[in-house]
Amino acid sequence: MHLPEPGTIEIAPSLLSADFSCLAEEVSDVENSGVKIIHLDIMDGHFVPNITIGPPVVSSLRKTSDLCFDAHLMISQPQRYIKDFANAGADHITFHIEAEGDPRDTIAMIEEAGCSAGICIKPATSPEEVLEIASLCRMILVMTVEPGFGGQVFREKCAEKCAFLRETLGKDLRIEVDGGINEQTAGKAGQLGADTLVAGSAVFGSRNRREAIEKIADSAIKS
């Protein structure tokens, strides 16, 4: 499924906090709870100090789900893996501005592979660094924690970059926020202009995923 058009608030559960012994059931649980997007955290143990999943796992999950697969490549050399993740079933591929390679070439490769492209900034990176290429992307991802691990505390200062990006770039692209999003912090993220909220521990750490998702969405919508 393609990334939903801008104009709606979407919650994207982050697979990193799911139970890896039964990933297909975990994905299906959130799919049945009404989300349109699943956020796939791809880590290489080099760009970030953690290792997660590769294309074979994405490909297996693709057979079980119709969700939009939002692949967040936390890897040093994204260009080496774009085709593999696209062939595995990613719909949208986000890479880091801090990673290796010319970002324009990386975006072109993502589109050639049949996916929409996104660019991500880490907490220390200024949003101005993505302005020139923003119009080539369907979504900008603003990290509100240092990438690598779930369960960290939301950094409001980082989320303020969303307000700058929204004001400068308008409403025609999605702004995604990732890290420490829960019922308490989603309102602030929404107020600052984010419309796509990644939530890992707040969704998968909850017994009732539907309720957790609805509470996060409500708080973002009411903001």
Ligand X SMILES: O=C(CO)[C@@H](O)[C@H](O)COP(=O)(O)O
How far CA 147 is from CA of 49, 77, 105, 118, 181, in Å, comes to 9, 16, 23, 16, 14
Considering only residues 66 to 105 of the shown chain, the ones binding ligand X according to CB under 6 A are 72
Determine if 178 is a binding residue for ligand X (CB under 6 A): yes
Between 22 and 104, whose beta carbon lies closer to ligand X?
22
Q: Is the C-alpha dihedral spanning 103, 104, 105, 110 positive or negative?
A: positive
Between 112 and 211, whose beta carbon lies closer to ligand X?
211
- Is residue 149 part of an annotated ligand binding site? yes
Element (H, E) at 107: helix 103-112
> C-alpha 120: how far from its chain's center?
9
Q: Name the phi and psi angles at 174, rounded to 5.
A: -80, 145
Instruction: Give how many residues touch ligand X by CB under 6 A.
Output: 22
- Is residue 179 part of an annotated ligand binding site? yes
Annotated active-site residue 84? The verdict is no
Determine if 180 is a binding residue for ligand X (CB under 6 A): yes
What is the nearest approach in angstroms of ligand X to the Cβ of residue 168? 24
Of the candidates 101, 107, 108, the residue with the CA atom closest to the CA atom of residue 76: 101
Between 17 and 116, whose beta carbon lies closer to ligand X?
17
What is the nearest approach in angstroms of ligand X to the Cβ of residue 178? 5
Residues lying near ligand X in the complex (CB under 6 A) are found at 14, 16-17, 39, 41, 72, 145, 147-152, 178-181, 198-202
